[in-house]
Structure 1
Amino acid sequence: MDFITEFFKGINNFLWGPFMLLFLLGTGIWLTLHLGFIQVRFLGEGFKKTFAPLFKKDQEDGINSFKALATSISAQVGTGNLAGVATAIASGGPGAIFWMWISSFFGMATIFAESVLAQTYKKKQGAQPVGGPAFYIQYGLGSKWLAGFFAIAIIIALGFVGNMVQSNAITVAMNQTLNADSFGVRFLIGSFVAFFVGLILFGGIQRIANFAGNIVPVMALLYIIGSVIIVVLYWDQLLPTLSLIVNAAINPNAAAGGVLGATVKEAVRYGIARGLFSNEAGMGSTPHAHAVAKVKHPAEQGLVAMVGVFIDTVIICTLTALVVIMTDAHKTDLEASAITQEGFARGLGEFGIPFIAVCLLFFAFTTILGWAYFGEVNVRFLFGEKGVPPYRAIVLLFIVVGAIVKVEFVWQVADTFNALMVLPNILALLLLTKVVKRSWKEYRETK
């Protein structure tokens, strides 16, 4: 297992090298300029569009914008916000959070473009509309093979490997809460998660959207409240922590007492990689949820999609980082979600560990549902309805396996396949920029 882990780590050092980071950030900058800094000027309108349909009923040919966003956030808000942030700090130092902020700022323009294209090129599968990168790559770019490559990559990256990450994080958190860790316990936890995922997954997008729409906002609010309480309790550490994050981004020695030997390259690599894993802007996953929304114009859902990145990274990831650094939990020898649990334990006392375990359970659980659905759309794209039953069975199997294997191995494999998803999706965004820009112009002219 260690040999395979090192193998994937070597691949990731190449895939997540300067080219990929420039590719991602460059695309975000490119779209930001072409859209006139849309994430600054129209984020407020995005919030209005998000919550306006809150009490509207879904229609047979789609779901409302809020539930589409809830489904999207259910995929975005997961282990990336808790375990991913902690891992970024542990591997790249506090400066990684600065680069996570940078990636999210430009990522808002990227996810706007993804959602507009998903709406523009969506098709019908039965009574429901579906869309995503595979659709706008094939029907927008006219490249069937590249669409197929993306579809295969996302099935493996999210449906299989990504859900191993979520299952693994749930298991680590539950083990620390129960103070019991063995093969039998891990297998039991993984089996329970797989069972309940199966119950909802077989109900399709409507059941997933309804579950996400009810659970995600409540759990996100509780997590935010818990984090804010700790920040208030450690208020004297707030400004020094923010200063450390910024200084460590360009001067790794500022992280003394934290990650020794962390370089600027590592801060950038882990900040952007974990930021992507968290908010998924540019990855090509969340457009599948936004494509299902019933809206008057594609740009409307693009504005809603920006709100998802803001909530995910600017609010939730930042609060996690503050808790971890302000309580010095990042200086421990713990790993992944256990670091975040330690931070909350120091801030909230004994209540902190079960609090994070419950939050992580629901966050990761809804992410599994969202990612399983995203993969399912692409299974249908490639193989039709006949491919869905075996796909769902394999997803449930990987959930169980993810609960058993080592956490570092899972994260390394996830980073590899995330990169393979990003490449064709970002290429499509660059080549279809004119479509996005034209859609935004049309929308503004009708206002």
Structure 2
Amino acid sequence: MLEVLEQFISQANTILWSYVLIILLIGAGLYFTFKNKFIQFKGFREMIRLLTESAGSTKDGVSSFQAFCMSTASRVGTGNLAGVAIAVVAGGPGAVFWMWVIALLGSASAFVESTLAQIYKERHIDSFRGGPAYYIEKALKNRSLGVVFSVFITVSFGFIFNSVQANTISMAFSRSFSIDPLYIGLALFVMAALVIFGGVRRIASVTEKIVPIMAILYILVVIYVMIANFSELPKVFALIIENAFGIKEVAGGAIGATLMNGIKRGLFSNEAGMGSAPNAAAAADVTHPVKQGLIQTLGVFTDTLLICSATAFLILSSGEYTNGELDGIQLTQKALESQVGDWGGIFVAVCIFLFAFSSIIGNYYYGESNIEFIKDDSKMVFFYRVFVLSMIVFGSVAKVSLVWDMADFFMGLMAIINLYAIIRLSPIAKRALLDYYKQKSAGKDPKFKASDIGLDEGVECWKD
């Protein structure tokens, strides 16, 4: 039975990622890039300004900075350390180039989906909630499709992706400390329970502290390695570009594997267009939806262009990716060990713990928000929490290939639904963007009124 499941998932992923999603993701990214006049590049200074101004507390919901950290906590996880290694092994160094491409184009999709999530968010007790399921129901008038999306994201993030995170932590700690994966799973069970039973504010508070620390520490160590190997950097860049477009790869049919693995692992890492980050974006308390749209766009750059690139340079400069015996997080550990000594593997294990644990928390919140969309029932949320914790233990001892393949499958289904929705709703995000810069040009701190862009239904948080 397990073999049949593995074969089905493998074949489905081939169709999804070799044909459907490559066209959809690149096509949507290009469409949003031109439609919004390259907002992911033109708005970069504004993104930085907004992020530095949004670190304060807020009475309603969570702060814009906290929402950024929640989504970044989910983005910055195993995809940045293990996923990059898997992409390089499976698709060659050229896969890194396509990870960059999907980030640059996908950031335009991230802007649209997060802006829409803010526009169609709703108040929930002392916070806000929203995301694709909410704008599918409110703007597209299609609750059934919203429920389908909610099921996919709950299964994907709450269950499968959290199994992936736990799996990577257990592999890293088993290699560095020889700890039984089951014990690691049980420890994660307890730690995650302490956070997720505290609600969205505790989740926001924890991720706000973990995300900046873990990212800065990891990048500093990799920068040290890059400085130590400065003369090798031009060779690494050349290796990436040559393999992305190389004649040998085209002639050998390997260009398809390079393209597919780069895009697949890139999407898994930065989640642009997938429909996950908007759930965190909707929780933010801002004066204009575009503010959070821009901040979430910055999260894609942080994830891929900074952290994924750091891992890629580490692996490629070490040459360890040619070792066919290593894959995933263990390849990243070995690569750092070869550069800084035995402590490198332990450092990566600690980093992956922080990265993946923060992802578990962020992923959990995405599922909770969508469980509440399906039915606002405290019993359902309680059983969801218990099942999430069980899947963390399962992931710690599961077979890695099947877990990653299932993550790819559900991620693909989610992305298709969300891309369909945001393509149809993109004119609304465009009108919000024009309104934002119109107010900026008038010297105002933009404040949003739904009626100013012709909206009156499903926008209860933005009524006059």
TM-score (norm 1): 0.96
Tell me by how many angstroms 1:157 deviates.
Answer: 0.7
Corresponding residue SS for 2:33 = helix
1:362 to 343, 347, 354: 354
Tell me by how many angstroms 1:12 deviates.
Answer: 0.3
Corresponding residue SS for 1:403 = helix
Deviations 1:249-280 (CA, angstroms, capped at 9, x unpaired): 1227379xxxx967111111111111111010
Superposed, 1:28-177 pairs within 5 Å as 28-54=29-55, 56-59=56-59, 61-177=60-176
Partner Cα separation in structure 2 for residue 15 and residue 312 of structure 1: 24
2:287 to 296, 300, 303: 296
Q: What letter is aligned with 1:245?
A: I
Corresponding residue SS for 1:357 = helix
Tell me by how many angstroms 1:127 deviates.
Answer: 2.3
Unmatched segments (≥5 aa) in structure 1: none
Matched with 1:221 is: 216
Q: Go from structure 1 to structure 2 and tell me whether the alpha carbon gap of 1:262 and 1:52 turns closer, same or farther (over 3 Å shift).
A: farther
Tell me by how many angstroms 1:195 deviates.
Answer: 1.0
Superposed, 1:205-284 pairs within 5 Å as 205-251=200-246, 253=248, 263-284=254-275
Tell me by how many angstroms 1:234 deviates.
Answer: 1.4
Q: What letter is aligned with 2:360?
A: I
Deviations 1:186-218 (CA, angstroms, capped at 9, x unpaired): 111111101100100011111011111111101
Partner Cα separation in structure 2 for residue 93 and residue 140 of structure 1: 42
Corresponding residue SS for 1:129 = strand
Partner Cα separation in structure 1 for residue 208 and residue 307 of structure 2: 18
Superposed, 1:429-440 pairs within 5 Å as 429-440=422-433
Corresponding residue SS for 1:106 = helix
Superposed, 1:268-347 pairs within 5 Å as 268-332=259-323, 333-347=325-339
Matched with 1:383 is: 375
Tell me by how many angstroms 1:21 deviates.
Answer: 0.6
Deviations 1:211-261 (CA, angstroms, capped at 9, x unpaired): 111111011000000111111111121111111111111227379xxxx96
Q: What letter is aligned with 1:155?
A: T
Q: Aligned pair 1:194/2:189, yes or no?
A: yes
Partner Cα separation in structure 1 for residue 437 and residue 99 of structure 2: 30
Partner Cα separation in structure 1 for residue 292 and residue 391 of structure 2: 32
Tell me by how many angstroms 1:3 deviates.
Answer: 4.5
Matched with 1:412 is: 405
Matched with 2:450 is: none
Q: What letter is aligned with 1:201?
A: I
CA contact (8 A) 2:249 2:255 kept: no
Runs of 4+ in structure 1 over 4 Å off: none
Q: What letter is aligned with 2:175?
A: Q
Q: Aligned pair 1:353/2:352, yes or no?
A: no
CA contact (8 A) 1:244 1:254 kept: no
Tell me by how many angstroms 1:123 deviates.
Answer: 0.9
Q: What letter is aligned with 2:74?
A: A
Corresponding residue SS for 2:128 = strand
Tell me by how many angstroms 1:2 deviates.
Answer: 4.6
CA contact (8 A) 1:77 1:278 kept: yes
Moved more, 379-388 or 260-269: 260-269
Matched with 1:8 is: 9
Tell me by how many angstroms 1:8 deviates.
Answer: 1.2
Matched with 1:396 is: 389
Q: What letter is aligned with 1:367?
A: S
Tell me by how many angstroms 1:179 deviates.
Answer: 3.4
Q: What letter is aligned with 2:423?
A: L
Q: What letter is aligned with 1:402?
A: G
Partner Cα separation in structure 2 for residue 277 and residue 349 of structure 1: 30
CA contact (8 A) 1:62 1:294 kept: yes
Corresponding residue SS for 1:292 = coil
Corresponding residue SS for 1:432 = helix
Deviations 1:78-132 (CA, angstroms, capped at 9, x unpaired): 0000000000001111111100000000111111001100000001222211010
CA contact (8 A) 2:62 2:127 kept: no
Moved more, 364-373 or 120-129: 120-129
Partner Cα separation in structure 1 for residue 73 and residue 96 of structure 2: 22
Moved more, 18-27 or 1-10: 1-10
Q: What letter is aligned with 2:20?
A: F
Q: Go from structure 1 to structure 2 and tell me whether the alpha carbon gap of 1:339 and 1:150 turns closer, same or farther (over 3 Å shift).
A: same
CA contact (8 A) 1:223 1:359 kept: yes
Partner Cα separation in structure 1 for residue 244 and residue 107 of structure 2: 21
> Identity of aligned pairs, percent?
38
What's the Cα RMSD here? 1.4
Superposed, 1:9-24 pairs within 5 Å as 9-24=10-25
Q: What letter is aligned with 1:435?
A: I
Q: What letter is aligned with 1:279?
A: N
Partner Cα separation in structure 1 for residue 46 and residue 74 of structure 2: 23
CA contact (8 A) 1:123 1:131 kept: yes
TM-score (norm 2): 0.92
Corresponding residue SS for 1:423 = helix
Unmatched segments (≥5 aa) in structure 2: 441-464
